[in-house]
Amino acid sequence: MYSQTASRAKPGCVLFLIDQSYSMRDGIAGTQRAKADVVSTAVNKLISELIQICEKGEDKPRHWFDVGMIGYTTDANGSPVVGSAFGGALAGQDLISIPDLFDNPLDVEVRKKKEQQDDGTGNLIVVEVEVNFPVWYRVPPEDQRFGTPARTAFEFARPVVENWIASHPESFPPLVIHLTDGESTDGPPVEAASALRDLATADGNTLIINCHISSNKADGVLFPTSDEQLPDQFAKELYEMSSEMPDALRVTAEVKQVAAPHGCRMMAFNADSVALLKLLSVGTMSTPGALDRAAHLR
């Protein structure tokens, strides 16, 4: 199980469920950086990395993955607003192929990052450089962000995943990445998440990663093995909703020097920006396409 290799014949599927509620404007883990901005950067970065995996020196990257983004919030009256988070030419679509993502970013921003360079005398110095940063996901305006209908979001995701599996019954199963900062406002999402996990290809059940992005300054927990490691009922609920990490993905985590004990759940609590990127990188990069790049490209 969980051994299929992503290819044109058997592509993988990565689906983001993104909490767009008003509270996502608050700072992450006691910092001033908005949780919504951290999520946006992480999602866009990971889409770029998936595209890079599929680039083999041809005009366009290969169709080794389909990627989806479902955003969820409510209107001012509390009614769920759930649907595709793509914009521009991709607006309204649930799943997009890698070649189409490559062709249709919303924008390419110029961002700054720090890196080490040789100063010419053999010494390393830290310099700030400009890099191009493609963007497919943007945070909605604050006047469009209210509640957190997580149960409805998981229910919305089920037919998306179900239809993809019907077209790709032999592929590595879909990976659903849920990014949220709080309690569901439309009832517990546990049963809806369980129904989603029950959907399976011949290679295994759908995998769910939960990222609890909190303002709390408490120590973060990455890949917990028990809900006793988590401080509140909402975190424990997300733990219950998360998939146990398959051994194939645990191996990839260890290669990336990320501790993933046997029996751990695919979850992070109170993830700061570094922990969040580690979690999502292990989740998406441990799909077979990444293993191809590292070991046995075909």
- Per the listing, tokens 């295994």 go with 204
CATH number assigned to the domain comprising residue 58: 3.40.50.410
Decide if 131 is inside a domain.
no
- Structure confidence by residue, pLDDT tens digits, 174-220: 999 999 987 899 999 999 999 999 999 999 999 999 988 877 776 78
Decide if 215 is inside a domain.
yes
Chain mean position to CA 219:
21
Decide if 110 is inside a domain.
no
pLDDT under 50 in the chain at which residues?
288-298
* Residue 295 pLDDT: 32
* Residue 273 pLDDT: 55
- Structure confidence by residue, pLDDT tens digits, 10-48: 999 999 999 999 999 988 777 788 999 989 998 998 899
From 251, 269, 267, 72, select the one nearest 177 (Cα to Cα).
267
Q: At what angle do helices 233-241 and 190-197 cross, to 10 degrees?
A: 20
Decide if 112 is inside a domain.
no
What's the domain count of the chain? Answer: 1
Question: d(Cα 294, Cα 298) in Å, to the nearest integer?
Answer: 11
Decide if 55 is inside a domain.
yes
Question: What's the pTM value of the predicted model, to 2 decimals?
Answer: 0.89
- Determine which helix (DSSP H) or strand (DSSP E) holds 190, and give its type and residue range: helix 190-197
> φ and ψ at 125, to 5 degrees?
-125, 155
The per-residue pLDDT of the chain, averaged, comes to 88
Range of the domain at 183: 12-104+136-296
- Per the listing, tokens 């509640």 go with 147
